[in-house]
């Protein structure tokens, strides 16, 4: 692996950039792997990287039906934060935040983790109560999060409208300063390059059609468009397509897949310094390093795999942005797109072992999986390597839907991820 640095960039610049090598090879499948990971998004590639780096398991393939990073990794609005209410969630996302903090150096790939602060707006008394509950819980969990008055919120994000005449006036905000954004493609590419350098095969454009189990019920491999691939262990990290893949192993999942849309504006000079989320009016916005306003929408009401989404939801999303930031009505939408998000009944992830021996799953991130990428990948690798839960992912079991020990952040707070 060519080391990336200012020096190597300069050296290559002087030689017409002829010296750069491919960042990862386009692998063809071998007959057998110790671990096959289904889904080459940030989560799957990350798990492969940590398997190789921290557990010495390098005979690993990451298989994707399309190109790597082409699913939700490359389609989300890249919000990273960890100010979740419940201990379980806070620990998982804060673990991810710790990994984010050092990820560029770890991977020798600048993922541009930008700690610009995520501010969540309170528009009514229940919002205020909920945010205060979060802030207190976060403080005792060692997670940064603080309350801002509406004037402080405006000072932190000048385009914000804090007029009391607004339809949903801003009453204040919760700010996590350590939170922010990252460059989504770079996360997938960085993990791919680092994993490949340690021997992981990345196999693109190879749909997995089924998970195969042996006579004892344990996983023996996967059927793919390029034939059967034997595997001692299989980890499914396929977001919206997880339930279809798991079905083939006979495991029915508490998942539903919904369209999620996002959009960007034309690029403008820096105007928006942070990330702002408003769950009450459904507005999620930041400004990319290119200058585009990056705006997230809610999910459409029906399940779908179409990656399409309708116009009315987009109209409401843009209206919500203009409600909170009235200076943006003359900005123009450049592009909108859709992803498929897999949602569990309690809107928290399922991360770890399954009833099938040798089969592991990482799914159910709903609209908030990007921020968890390093944390989910890191703990999943642990679980796959040791065949036991990591202390951090242990609560995120499939069994909780039987016993009732749900991790329902949304019900607790009416807070979307």
Which residues ranging from 134 to 163 are in contact with another protein (CB under 8 A)?
134-137, 139-142, 159, 161
Supply the minimum distance, in Å, between the C-beta of residue 20 and another protein.
5
Of the residues 214, 218, 306, 387, which one makes contact with another protein according to CB under 8 A? 306
Measured between alpha carbons, how far is 395 from 204 in angstroms, rounded to an integer? 32
Of the residues 333, 357, 389, 394, which one makes contact with another protein according to CB under 8 A: 333
Q: How far apart are CA 156 and CA 236, in angstroms?
A: 41
State CA 296 to chain mean position distance. 13
9 binds another protein (CB under 8 A): yes
CB of 316 to another protein, least distance (A): 7
Of the pair 127, 368, the CB lying nearest another protein is at 127
The backbone region for 163, taken as left when phi is positive above 0, alpha when psi lies in -120 to 50, beta otherwise, is: beta
With respect to another protein, which residue has the nearer C-beta, 57 or 296?
296
List the interface residues with another protein, window 63-122 (CB under 8 A): 66-67, 69-70, 74, 87, 90-91, 102, 104-105, 108-110, 112, 114-115
Structure tokens at 305: 């795999």
Pairing of strands 275-278, 283-287: antiparallel
One of 1, 54, 124, 225 touching another protein (CB under 8 A): 124
Q: Does 25 interact with another protein (rule: CB under 8 A)? A: yes
Of residues 213-272, those binding another protein (CB under 8 A): 241, 243-244, 252-257, 265-272
Do 242 and 389 contact (CB within 8 A), yes or no? no
Distance (Å, rounded) from C-alpha 62 to C-alpha 17? 29
Smallest distance, another protein to C-beta of residue 56, A: 25
Minimum Å distance from CB 123 to another protein? Answer: 7
Q: How far apart are CA 33 and CA 225, in angstroms?
A: 17
Give residues 278-297 in contact with another protein (rule: CB under 8 A).
281, 287-291
* Among 329, 386, 387, 391, contact with another protein (rule: CB under 8 A): 329
The Cα–Cα gap between 84 and 94 comes to 9
Q: Is 123 in the site for another protein (CB under 8 A)?
A: yes
Give CA–CA dist 76/338, Å, rounded.
Answer: 9
Q: Which is it for strands 118-122 and 275-278: parallel, antiparallel or unpaired?
A: parallel
177 to 216: interface string for another protein, x by CB under 8 A: ------x-xx--xx-------------x------------
Binding letters toward another protein, positions 344-373, x by CB under 8 A: xx----------------------------
Distance CA 256, CA 268 (A): 37
10: left (phi over 0), alpha (psi -120 to 50) or beta: alpha
Give the binding-site size for another protein (rule: CB under 8 A): 133
| Token duo for residue 287 | 């400004």
Q: How many CA atoms lie within 13 A of 67 on its CB side?
A: 6
């Amino acid at each position: 692996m060519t080391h990336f640095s200012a020096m190597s960039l300069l050296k290559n610049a002087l030689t017409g950039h002829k010296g750069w090598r491919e960042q990862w090879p386009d692998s063809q499948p071998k007959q057998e792997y110790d671990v096959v990971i289904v889904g080459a998004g940030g989560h799957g590639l990350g798990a492969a990287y940590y398997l190789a780096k921290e557990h010495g398991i390098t005979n690993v393939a990451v298989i994707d039906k399309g190109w790597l990073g082409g699913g939700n990794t490359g389609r989300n609005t890249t919000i990273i934060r960890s100010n979740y209410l419940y201990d379980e969630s806070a620990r998982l996302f804060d673990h991810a935040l710790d990994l984010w903090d050092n990820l560029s150096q770890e991977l020798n790939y600048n993922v541009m983790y930008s700690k610009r602060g995520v501010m969540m707006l309170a528009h009514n008394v229940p919002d205020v109560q909920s945010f205060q509950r979060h802030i207190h819980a976060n403080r005792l969990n060692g997670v940064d999060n603080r309350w801002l008055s509406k004037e402080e919120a405006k000072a932190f994000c000048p385009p914000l409208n804090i007029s009391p005449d607004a339809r949903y006036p801003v009453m204040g905000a919760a700010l996590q300063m350590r939170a922010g954004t990252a460059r989504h493609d770079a996360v997938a590419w960085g993990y791919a390059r680092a994993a490949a350098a340690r021997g992981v095969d990345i196999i693109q454009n190879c749909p997995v059609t089924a998970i195969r189990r042996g006579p004892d019920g344990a996983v023996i491999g996967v059927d793919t468009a390029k034939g059967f691939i034997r595997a001692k262990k299989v980890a499914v990290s396929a977001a919206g397509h997880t339930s279809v893949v798991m079905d083939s192993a006979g495991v029915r999942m508490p998942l539903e897949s919904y369209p999620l849309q996002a959009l960007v504006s034309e690029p403008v000079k820096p105007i928006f310094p942070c990330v702002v989320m408003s769950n009450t009016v459904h507005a999620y916005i930041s400004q990319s390093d290119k200058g585009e306003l990056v705006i997230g929408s809610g999910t459409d009401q029906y399940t779908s795999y179409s990656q399409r989404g309708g116009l009315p939801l987009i109209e409401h999303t843009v209206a919500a942005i203009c409600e909170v930031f009235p200076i943006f009505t003359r900005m123009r939408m450049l592009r909108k797109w859709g992803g498929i998000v897999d949602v569990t009944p309690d809107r928290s992830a399922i991360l770890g072992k399954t009833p099938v021996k040798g089969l592991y799953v990482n799914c159910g991130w709903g609209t908030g999986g990007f921020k968890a990428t390093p944390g989910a990948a890191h703990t999943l690798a642990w679980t796959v390597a040791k065949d036991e839960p990591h202390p951090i992912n242990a609560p995120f079991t499939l069994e909780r839907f039987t016993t009732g020990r749900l991790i329902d952040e949304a019900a607790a707070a009416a807070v979307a991820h």
